[in-house]
């Protein structure tokens, strides 16, 4: 929602009323089998939208989603159904996705029966094995969601997702509502499941600390665009984009690190009316004229390391500053 005063000013200037939000803008992302991609950004940056599109909960207005090299848009119905089941989403708050009147056994067992993957007579066994797999006592199968703690409910949510044999889990802020110690346990469960079941993850979070714990590769989004993407190791060792550097400077466990500059200052601009040029320029301490006009392309700054910032191709003077460590 744009600020009312802003809209009035725009209207007086004769600017067209923005009617749609471009939640994702030229976003292109490959996720390899067995990879854990951490997708990070502030709220409203489009990361959940991307997750929902991949999970089949939302449809994109433009562009394409490929599953194992094949477009979902042209996939035969049977294969599409299988691909949809193979990609499961795990949300932040399992309480809102679990029916309070259904037992855990019902919650976990309903999808595999509905999809004809398990016979009714065998569903009890399946539920018990899934509960054990996620670290829940199978003897609690007849209990209701409210009888569990937050961490246990998230495990129920995970067991329910696993019940249809997914290969790809999209986790949207899946540990954000949990206490820090419980977060670590659930993250370790995700890692264990990856090992045991060969899963692939898109791990969406606003929290770089969480992503550092789990991700093989980190992708940073800002106002609908990917601004940086790199292997986790390279990412944390030598972040390139000023926005990423600001996010990292805010991470609690790197506070001892020399602060590169002030934490991300200023409001996130409205996605209805994003700034021209580099979307980050109103908040960027390094912004210069070109940033206000020209959109920076996502370019390789090292093998497998992409960043969208004009500083990467500015004249030598800035390059020298760069080497002196001002960036």
Q: Which residues lie near ligand SF4 (CB under 6 A)?
A: 241-242, 278, 280-281, 284, 286-287, 291, 296, 309-311
Binding pattern to Mg ion, positions 236-265, x when CB under 5 A?
------------------------------
Q: Which is nearer to ligand SF4, 72 or 249 (CB)?
A: 249
CA–CA separation, 104 and 145 (whole Å): 7
- Answer with the entry of Mg ion, ligand SF4, none that 39 interacts with (C-beta below 5 to 8 A by kind): none
| Cα–Cα nearest to 187, from 156, 169, 209, 210 | 210
CA–CA separation, 301 and 295 (whole Å): 17
CA–CA separation, 79 and 38 (whole Å): 27
Q: Which is nearer to ligand SF4, 142 or 299 (CB)?
A: 299
- Answer with the entry of ligand SF4, Mg ion, none that 307 interacts with (C-beta below 5 to 8 A by kind): none
Query: According to the binding rule CB under 5 A, does residue 48 interact with Mg ion?
Result: yes
Tokens of 145: 């969601």
Q: Which is nearer to ligand SF4, 194 or 281 (CB)?
A: 281
Q: For residue 257, count other CB atoms closer than 10 A to its CB.
A: 10
- Answer with the entry of ligand SF4, Mg ion, none that 296 interacts with (C-beta below 5 to 8 A by kind): ligand SF4
25-43 burial by CB neighbour count: b if 16+ within 10 A, else e? eebebebeeebbbbbbbee
CB of 51 to ligand SF4, least distance (A): 24
CB of 206 to Mg ion, least distance (A): 8
* Contact status, residue 251 vs residue 264, Cβ threshold 8 Å: no
- Taking the alpha carbons at both ends of the chain, their separation in whole angstroms is 34
* Contact status, residue 287 vs residue 265, Cβ threshold 8 Å: no
CB of 265 to ligand SF4, least distance (A): 13
Q: Segment contacting Mg ion (CB under 5 A): 31-39, 42-50, 65-73, 213-221?
A: 42-50
Q: Which is nearer to ligand SF4, 156 or 311 (CB)?
A: 311
Closest residue to bound Mg ion by CB: 48
Q: Residue 192 contacts by C-beta under 8 Å, 6 or more apart in sequence?
A: none
CB of 37 to ligand SF4, least distance (A): 22
* Site of interaction with Mg ion (CB under 5 A): 48
């Amino acid at each position: 929602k744009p600020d009312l005063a802003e809209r009035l000013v725009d209207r007086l200037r004769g600017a067209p009323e923005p009617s749609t939000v471009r939640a994702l803008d030229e976003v292109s992302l490959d996720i390899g089998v067995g990879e854990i991609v951490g997708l990070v950004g502030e709220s409203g940056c489009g990361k959940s939208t991307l997750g929902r599109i991949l999970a089949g909960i939302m449809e994109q207005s433009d562009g394409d989603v490929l599953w194992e090299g094949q477009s979902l848009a042209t996939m035969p119905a049977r294969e599409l159904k299988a691909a949809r089941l193979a990609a499961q989403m795990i949300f932040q708050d399992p309480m809102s996705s679990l029916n309070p009147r259904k037992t855990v056994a019902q919650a976990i067992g309903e999808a595999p029966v509905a999809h004809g993957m398990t016979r009714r007579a065998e569903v009890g066994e399946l539920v018990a094995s899934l509960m054990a797999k996620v670290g829940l006592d199978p003897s609690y199968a007849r209990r209701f969601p409210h009888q569990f703690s937050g961490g246990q409910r998230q495990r129920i949510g995970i067991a329910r997702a696993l019940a249809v044999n997914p290969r790809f889990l999209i986790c949207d802020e899946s540990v954000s509502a949990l206490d820090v110690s419980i977060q670590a346990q659930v993250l370790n469960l995700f890692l264990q499941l990856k090992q045991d079941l060969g899963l692939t993850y898109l791990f969406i979070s606003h929290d770089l600390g969480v992503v550092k714990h789990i991700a093989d590769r980190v992708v940073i989004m800002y106002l609908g665009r990917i601004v940086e993407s790199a292997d986790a190791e390279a990412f944390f060792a030598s972040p390139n984009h000023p926005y990423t550097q600001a996010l990292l400077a805010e991470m609690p466990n790197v506070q001892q690190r020399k602060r590169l500059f002030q934490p991300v200052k200023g409001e996130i601009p409205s996605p209805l009316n994003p700034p021209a040029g580099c979307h980050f320029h109103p908040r960027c301490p390094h912004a210069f004229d070109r940033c206000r006009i020209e959109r920076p392309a996502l370019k390789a700054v090292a093998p497998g390391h992409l960043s969208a910032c004009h500083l990467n191709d500015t004249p030598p003077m800035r390059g020298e500053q760069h080497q002196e460590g001002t960036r």
